[in-house]
Amino acid sequence: MGVIAFEKMKTIIALCSAGVVVCLVLSSVAGVGVPGSTFSPQAFPELSAVRDQRLYDFQHKVPVSPLSIYHSYAEMTSLLFNLAANHSDIMTITSLGKTYEGRDLWLVKLSDNVAQEEGEPEVLFTGSHHGNERPGYEILIYFVQYMVEYYQNTSAVKNAIDTTEIYIIPMMNPDGVEAGTRKNQEPNHGSFGFSKTVTSIGVDLNRNYAGWWFLLFLRPLFYRSTSYHDASEVYRGPHPFSENETTAVRQFIEAHNVTLSIDYHTYGELIMYPWGNSRLPTKDAAVFASIGENLSRLDNYTSEQSIYLYPTLGDICDWMYATHHVLAFTIELGTVYAPENPTVLHKMSVDHTKVNLYICQRAQTLAEKR
């Protein structure tokens, strides 16, 4: 066994050992169980259909529809650069890094003094961690275009841009979008990176963030929405932040002071917040519930703690909240992965432009209390 492989094996053994110790300690404390152990699907029976279908989808590759009404990566890039050129006083576009296939991860910033760091509240919107969930990036393209074009004559837009630093990563997984796949396109060398040959393609980027990774070794059947098998549609990667895309997000978050965020996915018409690995409430449970309720008035979605859809590990929201105290939400758009009706997509975009404007407004009050 080589030095690198030996070090990887030591890391895995350490994770498993630490998991056993932590779980034994937690279970010995009265009233406290292993994170996630109190989950009960019966608590939200109205989610059973979505939950069952999504878990089924994870075991089968879902056919993805043609781009048709959706922008390709190249079309999105061209549009964003044109908008930045025409509205350079309030918009910039920069690259956070490159994917395995060499595509840039574009970051849009909207602010009145866009070239400066003003110390204003920061918000982050991300879309399409999963390449087959196309509305996630499409509604963010719409949001950017709406904001720059209505800045001068819409008070809500002007107030958001003048008082908030707004960051958007519209397409988190451009390789997956172009390939029509949930996962990215980086080759895997076995589930833990030990194989000399390529065994499968792609990592589920929204399972690749850090946090409680050891639990999957202890309860793989419980965390069915996450897998350490590289052929799985929900394969989390060989280790946290193994992928270029998630590493780029980590570096961005570490360099900023984001107050609120939304990560857009499909589907289920849900607004979700931490924790996804435990039924235990966060210390900001009341704030999460308040914001979720207000968002639901705008898009008529159901607001809930993430675990009530299904327990998961390694998602962006749990990591951002646990590590950087970002009040992070996931919104599951619509009722299918990629609706082909342009009217449905347009309404989704309009509704969630309102949602995003509310997040900018709420960031003001939250920042004052931090």
DSSP 3-53: HHHHHHHHHHHHHHHHHHHHHHHHHHSTT--STTTT--GGG-GGGHHHHHH
pLDDT value at position 272?
Answer: 98
CATH architecture of 73-180+242-369: 3-Layer(aba) Sandwich (3.40)
Residue 224: exposure state from Cβ atoms within 10 A (0-12, 13-18, ≥19): middle
> What are the C-alpha distances in Å from 252 to residues 88, 181, 248?
22, 25, 6
Query: What residue spans define the domains of the chain?
Result: 73-180+242-369
Average pLDDT of the chain to the nearest whole number: 88
pLDDT band with cut points at 50, 70 and 90 for residue 26: very low
Residues near 336 by Cβ (< 8 Å), separated by ≥ 6?
266, 267
Question: Residues 111-133: what's their mean pLDDT?
Answer: 95
Is residue 33 pLDDT above 90, yes or no?
no
Task: Lowest mean pLDDT of 118-122, 126-130, 313-317, name the range.
Answer: 118-122
288-296: long-range pairs with CB below 8 Å, 24+: 288/327, 288/329, 291/260, 291/327, 291/329, 291/362, 292/329, 294/358, 294/362, 295/271, 295/329, 295/331, 295/355, 295/358, 296/271
pLDDT band with cut points at 50, 70 and 90 for residue 68: confident
Using alpha carbons only, give the angle 100, 102, 103 rounded to the nearest 5 degrees: 105
pLDDT band with cut points at 50, 70 and 90 for residue 24: very low
Is residue 39 pLDDT above 70, yes or no?
no
Is residue 113 pLDDT above 50, yes or no?
yes
What positions carry a catalytic annotation? 332
pLDDT value at position 48?
Answer: 76
Q: C-alpha dihedral over 292, 293, 297, 300, to 10 degrees?
A: 70
Using alpha carbons only, give the angle 24, 29, 31 rounded to the nearest 5 degrees: 120
Residues paired with residue 129 on neighbouring β-strands, in sequence order: none
Mode of pairing for the β-strands spanning 122-127 and 258-266:
parallel
Per DSSP, the three-state class of 354 is helix
pLDDT band with cut points at 50, 70 and 90 for residue 10: very low
Task: Lowest mean pLDDT of 31-35, 177-181, 230-234, name the range.
Answer: 31-35
Is residue 87 pLDDT above 60, yes or no?
yes
Element (H, E) at 78: helix 73-86
